[in-house]
Structure 1
Amino acid sequence: MTASDALVLPGSPVPLRRLRAEESPYPGVLCAGEPPVICVDDDDLPAVLWNVAADGHLLAPVDAVRTADGTAALIPACRARLDSGAATTPGRAITVAISIVRAAHEAGPLGHDAGTWWVDAGGRPVLALGSGIGWREDAAEILAGMAETHPGALERVLTRIAAGIADASLVRRHADEWEDALFAAAEPEPLADLPPGESATTDTAPRRATAVRREHTVSPAVSTVGAMLARLVDADIARRTTEAVSKACEAVLGSRRRTPRREPEEVDGPRRRRGPLLAAIAVIGVVVTLGLVWPDPDTASDAAAPVASAPPVVMTPVPSDTTSAPPPAPEMSALESGARAAIGLLAQCSAGDAEACAAVREDPTQPLPEGLVVSGREPTTIAVLDEYGGVAVVRADGAGFTSQAVVLVQADERWLVRDVYDLADQP
């Protein structure tokens, strides 16, 4: 699979460039997106990762796509290997340590001893199973390294976890206890210091697992009601109904918890169980009725518009100035300017200029490309497709030529050409 033929279905992410071994835990092609993803051949991923939650602490596929060679997985892109140097503050040490504990707990039953620790493009510490050598030993080393730089209570907690993280049975028994001790030692902080131009897509500081579970716990009965309504009414009405039912049930159950307990013989068992359900049904009726008559936002704004015509606006003609200059062209960015300069040098290199070759090519041993970038004609447009940690991809277009993607690497305040490939016309 190459960068140019990695994805073949319309709507698939735009392939940018093939990643080197030190840039990704698995061989693959970096694809544009927010956040960016990596297209990895299905055979290069452990099969068990397809059963892993994508929002956990194991690096897992977020989607699957068809390629020229079969099926590939899309996994979150990674920006750096995880090591103890990421823990520049106690709060970041907590974030790294909790992520390691949770990933070790998730990976324990999966039977993979090989793996490496990474920070994904969103700033989340993750474990990539199946790559590298031993993830347990690496985890102990990272935790011990953080303990050395954070003396006191945090040092003691990290040292204790480092001593047990390689033992799956100890992780199972003490994961919750370790988390509590970490949360007690310091407040978690997101991993900052993202490369220029990047920003964290989510708040990557971990929260207590119990709080997360409470937020995501929905009654099975309420979920069933939501699924039924989605088939009968508008999706937004179904969502509002489900939320209202959930709140109604919580309110009823909350009032029951606040009411003094009566003796068993004073309460009718079936009636007690029907209380929250009847309240939920009542809310469903009200919300569905309101939803059916709820005005459409566009219709409502049309109805609210005044019917009386506004008085005519008198416009004073302005004399035209035939000598005025046309509006200035948009200013070119530093990257676009550098890309044009690099493409110009590449054309000179193709024409036999040895100095231009030395000045613009990252690897002079690679064969020269063909097409627009070496034709000597300046591209009509240069569009930035992606810029990712000192590596950029631009699209060059010119009349009579196939559009080309140019992969550039920044070095000493100039851009070197790493790769050039044709871009297939998008359907």
Structure 2
Amino acid sequence: MDPLSLEVPPALRELTTAEAPFAGVLRGGATPAVWVGAEDFGTSPAWAAGGTEHILAPLDSAGTPDGSCVILPHCPVTLDEVVRHGAPSDGALVTVAISALRGAAEADRLGAETGRWWVTAEGRPVLALTGALAWRHDTVALLREAVARRTPDSGAAVLDAALERAAAAIEEPRRLRRETEEIESALFAAAEPEPLPTDRQGTPAGPPERTRAGAAQTRPTGFATTVRDLLGRLVDVGVAHRVATALGAVASAARRPRRPDRARPEPRPRRRRVVLVAGAAATAVILGGALWPSGEAESPAAADAPGSEAPVTPPRSPSMSAPPQTAEASPVTDQRPVKRDSGPEDIVTAARGLIAEIGSCSDDACRSRLWEDPSAPAALPSAGGDYAIEVVDEYGGAAAVKIVGAERTQVLVMVRVQEKWLAREVYDLADQP
């Protein structure tokens, strides 16, 4: 049986090789990641890097209408930037040195000679086996420069000596194999490892473990994605996108307060079957609500399932409460109710502020201040009256929000540039009959 072709997550921004190890598209989802063309990644020895901890390796692969892609962790900054242009703590330097030792050993096993160190959004150093730089020379130089930049104090000598030993071992592969464990012990004794600081750091994945056990790879999956795929096969891509987006927003809001560790073992086949059966059952219920005609009639899900919460028919906000139905009721009572704002407060506030500015903008000068591309502004009719903001996805310098109006819903994609949010793109989520 052919594998399921799941819908591609929304694009947040395109990345060049100046911004990421491989050029690709940063896409949202439960775990935002970079989608890179398989052909562009094919020349890297990282194809054989499965099971490594400190080599940048694919989280997954996917088939898209444009061809096959590999899905890589997002690496917003290079390790050079963190070490040479920041002030990393002792714990962060221990993380750098431990990762350098282990990454060097893994690269040697793969026979890789070129590459560059990057830092994932979780603050974990990884060696990207790409480009023309000699990773061994750069790694040794980086560790020794870190020692040279440190301010001498009473406790610095122990860590400085361990960092120098790490650099010397990486410089000589035989010594690396022989002395790594001893050097790691000295590093751990000098300071507790910490995640590296990055401008777009997400939830820290944690410092290097003292053991060498391989960590489980994170795979970007989700119930909303499964439902979207099943709906798309059964009915229509527009319906699938509408329902799955609503589910994804609810799941994302539920996830944010807890910030759980996403790393977990691969699900067993039996569990996979159970999840798919549950997804199919849920699809049947959601499908009825998504396809039921809007207007005076109530959906069967709302009538027959008391206590259930259907994303397609949200509760009415107190501020939008309608007068009792009468024979002379206004057409306004047939409009779709508006939800309350949902999502991180700072993103909601930023979106409302940007929307208000766009609404009062009427000349090129203000458009240049509000839009990433002033030549392609878009209207926001969904914000013409009462509306709600729902944060669909937010990741560092980019966010996607739904503008839910009484009769129309749009998605606004925003990017943060020099401490200011700009509008990048607006598109409609058309209602289905």
Same fold (TM over 0.5): yes
Alpha-carbon shift at residue 164 of structure 1 (Å):
4.0
Q: Distance in 2 between matches of 1:98 and 1:52?
A: 18
- Report the equivalent of 2:37: 41
Deviations 1:67-97 (A, max 9, x none): 1211001111123221325773333222210
Cα separation, partners in 2 of 1:359 and 1:89, compared to 1, 3 Å: closer
Q: 1:62-77 maps to which residues of 2 (within 5 A)? A: 62-77=59-74
- Other structure's SS at 1:355 match: helix
2:95 is the alignment partner of 1:81: no
Q: Distance in 1 between matches of 2:125 and 2:5?
A: 31
- Report the equivalent of 1:226: none
> Gapped runs of 5+ residues in structure 1?
1-7, 214-229, 236-324
Q: Distance in 2 between matches of 1:423 and 1:27?
A: 28
Q: Distance in 2 between matches of 1:357 and 1:59?
A: 40
1:384 to 388, 391, 406: 391
Contact (CA 8 Å) 2:94, 2:192: kept in 1 or not? yes
Cα separation, partners in 2 of 1:27 and 1:66, compared to 1, 3 Å: same
2:354 is the alignment partner of 1:342: yes
Q: Which amino acid aligns with 2:181?
A: D
Q: Which amino acid aligns with 1:158?
A: L
- Report the equivalent of 1:60: 57
Contact (CA 8 Å) 2:24, 2:36: kept in 1 or not? yes
Alpha-carbon shift at residue 99 of structure 1 (Å):
0.5
- Report the equivalent of 1:94: 94
Q: 1:22-421 maps to which residues of 2 (within 5 A)? A: 22-45=18-41, 46-53=43-50, 56-83=53-80, 84=83, 88-131=88-131, 133-148=133-148, 149=150, 151-183=156-188, 185-191=189-195, 193=197, 198-200=202-204, 202-209=205-212, 212=213, 326=318, 330=340, 333-346=345-358, 351=362, 353-364=363-374, 367-370=375-378, 372-373=379-380, 377=384, 380-396=387-403, 403-412=410-419, 414-417=420-423, 419-420=424-425
Q: Distance in 2 between matches of 1:28 and 1:379?
A: 38
Q: Distance in 1 between matches of 2:180 and 2:386?
A: 57
Q: Which amino acid aligns with 2:398?
A: V
- Other structure's SS at 1:126 match: strand
Q: Distance in 2 between matches of 1:139 and 1:99?
A: 11
- Report the equivalent of 2:261: none
TM-score normalised to the size of structure 1?
Answer: 0.60
Q: Distance in 1 between matches of 2:136 and 2:142?
A: 10
> Gapped runs of 5+ residues in structure 2?
215-267, 272-316, 321-338
- Report the equivalent of 2:302: none
Q: Which amino acid aligns with 1:206?
A: E
Contact (CA 8 Å) 1:37, 1:76: kept in 2 or not? yes
Cα separation, partners in 2 of 1:25 and 1:199, compared to 1, 3 Å: same
- Other structure's SS at 2:57 match: coil
Q: Which amino acid aligns with 1:393?
A: A
- Other structure's SS at 1:96 match: helix
Q: Give aligned-pair identity as a percent.
A: 32
Contact (CA 8 Å) 2:400, 2:411: kept in 1 or not? no
- Report the equivalent of 2:15: 19
Contact (CA 8 Å) 2:169, 2:175: kept in 1 or not? yes
Q: Which amino acid aligns with 1:186?
A: A
Cα separation, partners in 2 of 1:124 and 1:192, compared to 1, 3 Å: closer
Deviations 1:279-299 (A, max 9, x none): xxxxxxxxxxxxxxxxxxxxx
- Other structure's SS at 1:23 match: coil
- Report the equivalent of 1:293: none
Q: Distance in 1 between matches of 2:57 and 2:77?
A: 17
- Other structure's SS at 1:88 match: coil
Q: Which has the higher contact order (CA 8 A, sep 6+)?
A: 2
- Report the equivalent of 1:225: none
Q: Distance in 1 between matches of 2:196 and 2:101?
A: 20
User: CA RMSD of the aligned region, Å?
Assistant: 3.9
TM-score normalised to the size of structure 2?
Answer: 0.59
Cα separation, partners in 2 of 1:135 and 1:410, compared to 1, 3 Å: same
Q: Rg: which structure is higher?
A: 1
Cα separation, partners in 2 of 1:174 and 1:137, compared to 1, 3 Å: same
Alpha-carbon shift at residue 197 of structure 1 (Å):
8.3
- Report the equivalent of 1:318: none
Q: Distance in 2 between matches of 1:197 and 1:92?
A: 14
